Amino acid sequence: MKTLSILVLTILMGSSVFAQDTKKVIKLSEPVRVTDNFEIYGTNIEEYEKPKSLTEVLTDDEKSSTVVVNTSIAEVCEKKGCFFIAQEGDYSARITFKDYDFFVPTDSEGKEVTIIGELSKKVLSEEKAKHYAEDAGKSSDSIQGEQIEYSIVASTVIIQKERKNQE
């Protein structure tokens, strides 16, 4: 009986690990350009100004509305890739896409990106903040009241093919 219990437990644990590894990737937009090193979504761009880090952009006293940011993707909307969160330490921004014209693959979490877009500071209603959390596959239970967030509406997102080293 003990051997049977161990066998059943092993099978159940193995199947749950297998199920997690086969999470379905949703890719509703195709890149406008693909190279060996990166994929470009949105507007195809050849040249752009030198990117700043997300921290530099959000702490700059002379905030510009148009920004070029090099950062990494902390989390992606699991439903369709319609937004992602870029985070560096205590600083984060929600990245959405100009005119809702393109999305990023839902398996982009952890990848390094360059974002070209318009920066703004927004106040989210509690309802909207909870909706965003649920779309990202997170619990919304701890969200209470209005939330302040930085947002970048991207016209171009360049996703590096290799994931940033997680140390």
* C-alpha torsion 105→108→112→114, nearest 10: 30
Structure tokens that stand for 166 in this block: 């997680």
Residue 1: its pLDDT value, please? 55
Which pLDDT value is given to residue 7? 46
pLDDT along the chain (167 residues), means of 10: 50 48 83 96 94 93 84 93 93 94 96 96 87 79 88 97 64
Question: Which residues neighbour 102 within 8 Å (Cβ) at sequence distance 6 or greater?
Answer: 29, 41, 42, 157
CATH of domain 26-163: 2.40.50
CB of 120 within 8 A of CB of 65? Answer: yes
Parse the chain into domains and list their residue ranges.
26-163
Q: Which pTM does this prediction carry?
A: 0.75
Q: Compute the C-alpha angle 59/61/66, nearest 5°.
A: 80
Distance from C-alpha of 24 to C-alpha of 5, rounded to nearest angstrom? 31
Number of C-beta neighbours around residue 77 at 10 A:
21
